[in-house]
Amino acid sequence: MNELKQLGRYQLLRVLGRGAMGLVYEGVDPKLNRRVAIKVIQMSRIDDPALRAEYASRFITEAQAVARLNHPNIVTVYDFGEEGGVAYLVMELIAGEELGSYFDDSQMFSLDFTLEDSVRMTCELLEALDYAHQQGIIHRDIKPANVMLTAQLRVKLTDFGVARMQDVEANHTQAGTMVGTPSYMSPEQIMGQPVGPRADIFAAGIILYQFLTGERPFKGQGLFALQQQIVYGQVAPPSVLSPSIRPALDRVVLRALAKRPDDRYPSARAFRDDLQRALSGDVINPADTLPPPVRVPQPGAHYTTSPGRPAPVHPYAHAAHATVLVPGPSSGARWPAPAQPGHVPPQPMPPAIPQPQPPHGWPAPADMPSGLVMPSQPRPALAPLPDDADPDATHVSGTGLPVPPLPLPPSPQQPGGDADSTVVGATTPPGGTRR
């Protein structure tokens, strides 16, 4: 991209960051004598017409989405426009650092957050999400790189580049499209299913898990393995990694990370309220946060059952973090309906089915979870990546992960109502400088 000095009335001073959607500059609005952050995409340099149209659409979506929002924990948008094939978005300049820098061991500075600070910052993120959801906007890419921290360690949510407005007609977005950052995607995003506010709640739960343990709840050697962990993997309660974590916080985190959207908190506000109660020492009743345990297959094993003999139960086998049910491609995928009170459905285990050899770049059958069958003509969610590729390095936009059906009993309805990488800011971290 050629060096830019001026866009509209705005003077461009220096590059602050580079992301999936373009560059971010520090600039000046001479009319108001105000420092601003200016996000730009040079559309004329994108040769592929389809890709150019997609980037232009995302850029306009972000501008329209954030322009509707006025909240202390969301970066303010002042203006947007296009000049000479360059689209630009003028935003509030944040003197601070992205949260991702504090979760990155490779950084040359660090700051230990207290439990109180961690919960407070998560609550501020949830307040921003609750406000956006009330305006009909789903972020769809909540991750530490999109959470800015001011010098006072206050949260500013940014980068609504893949946000979706809930009032847009359903056929506006192609079915089966997966958009987001792999490590922070919800199961429904990975599978290309309809995405609602609870996908943002799931991602916020991952961030809270990192605050409490210093680790992400889902890991994998390569993109496909990571996606399998998110869809199928069991989540260890935070107290397993950090024994000082109280059980009430475990219950809050595990409900936020439930596989089924309906098993998560009905709103970001409900998530925040329980999190504040857990921090203050209030008792969080397991019945208020987790559905009853369900039987799920343990990875790497096949089970057979006989009449009168119960199937094995995984030690962490709660519906808040259990294997999801994914109907076949022709069945019209949907999450299972809640069971009738007192009803205990049958618990069949997946049969052992011979697995064909996967094409180059896909995991070997021996590495797959029990009962998982590789499709003969797989449709990977991304262009092929090596197994050791960084799953956080790329925004994903493509068809959902091919996932076979596994049996899972429906869970009771949760209490409460039904709710259905670009850096913006200066490069000086709060409370310190890079060395």
Of the candidates 400, 314, 401, 375, which has an alpha carbon nearest to the alpha carbon of residue 349?
A: 314
Query: Please, what sign has the CA dihedral across residues 112, 118, 124, 129?
Result: positive
- CB contact set of 198 (below 8 Å; sequence gap of 6+): 186, 261, 262, 264, 265, 266, 419, 420
- Provide the percentage of residues in the chain whose pLDDT is more than 70: 58
Residue with tokens 């601003």: 36
pLDDT bin (cut points 50, 70, 90) of residue 175 is: very low
Q: How far is CA 24 from CA 15, 43, 148, 233, in A?
A: 6, 15, 14, 36
Distance CA 153, CA 43 (A): 35
Burial-class residue 256 by CB neighbours within 10 Å (0-12, 13-18, 19+).
buried
At 360-372, the pLDDT tens digits run: 443 443 443 333 3
**In the beta sheet, which residues pair with residue 396?**
180
Domain locations along the chain: 6-93, 97-297+316-326+387-430
User: Given this model, what pLDDT does residue 288 score?
Assistant: 56
If one compares 23 and 330, the residue with the highest pLDDT of the two is: 23
Lowest-confidence range among 39-43, 160-164, 217-221? 160-164
Of the candidates 299, 296, 106, 120, which has an alpha carbon nearest to the alpha carbon of residue 208?
A: 120
At 250-268, the pLDDT tens digits run: 999 999 999 999 999 999 9
Choice among 141, 200, 262, 263 that is catalytic: 141
User: Given this model, what pLDDT does residue 155 score?
Assistant: 97
pLDDT bin (cut points 50, 70, 90) of residue 297 is: very low
Distance CA 286, CA 307 (A): 31
User: Given this model, what pLDDT does residue 44 score?
Assistant: 72
- CB contact set of 196 (below 8 Å; sequence gap of 6+): 138, 166, 261, 419, 420
User: Given this model, what pLDDT does residue 364 score?
Assistant: 43
User: Given this model, what pLDDT does residue 389 score?
Assistant: 43
- CB contact set of 293 (below 8 Å; sequence gap of 6+): 313, 317, 318, 319
User: Given this model, what pLDDT does residue 332 score?
Assistant: 38
Distance CA 388, CA 223 (A): 8
Check pLDDT > 50 for residue 300: no
Crossing angle of the two packed helices 197-213 and 268-279, in degrees rounded to 10: 20
Specify binding-site residues.
39
pLDDT bin (cut points 50, 70, 90) of residue 146 is: very high
pLDDT bin (cut points 50, 70, 90) of residue 285 is: low
Lowest-confidence range among 14-18, 343-347, 401-405, 426-430? 426-430
Q: Using DSSP bridges, classify how beta strands 155-157 and 137-138 pair: parallel, antiparallel or unpaired.
A: unpaired
User: Given this model, what pLDDT does residue 249 score?
Assistant: 96
Check pLDDT > 50 for residue 23: yes
Specify binding-site residues for ATP.
39
pLDDT bin (cut points 50, 70, 90) of residue 42 is: confident
User: Given this model, what pLDDT does residue 355 score?
Assistant: 36
Average pLDDT, the chain: 71
Distance CA 84, CA 1 (A): 13
Check pLDDT > 90 for residue 238: yes
Check pLDDT > 70 for residue 112: yes
Over residues 341-355, mean pLDDT: 43
Retrieve residue 251's tokens: 């219950």
Over residues 395-415, mean pLDDT: 42
Retrieve residue 316's tokens: 């962490």
User: Given this model, what pLDDT does residue 313 score?
Assistant: 38
Q: Which CATH number fits domain 6-93: 3.30.200.20, 1.10.10.410, 3.20.20.70, 3.40.50.1970?
A: 3.30.200.20
User: Given this model, what pLDDT does residue 253 score?
Assistant: 98
Over residues 145-154, mean pLDDT: 93
Q: Which CATH class is domain 97-297+316-326+387-430?
A: mainly alpha
At 225-235, the pLDDT tens digits run: 999 999 999 99
User: Given this model, what pLDDT does residue 314 score?
Assistant: 36
End-to-end CA distance of the chain: 28
- CB contact set of 110 (below 8 Å; sequence gap of 6+): 102
If one compares 300 and 425, the residue with the highest pLDDT of the two is: 300
Told to judge if 47 belongs to the known catalytic residues of this protein, a careful annotator would answer no
At 302-317, the pLDDT tens digits run: 433 334 434 333 333 3
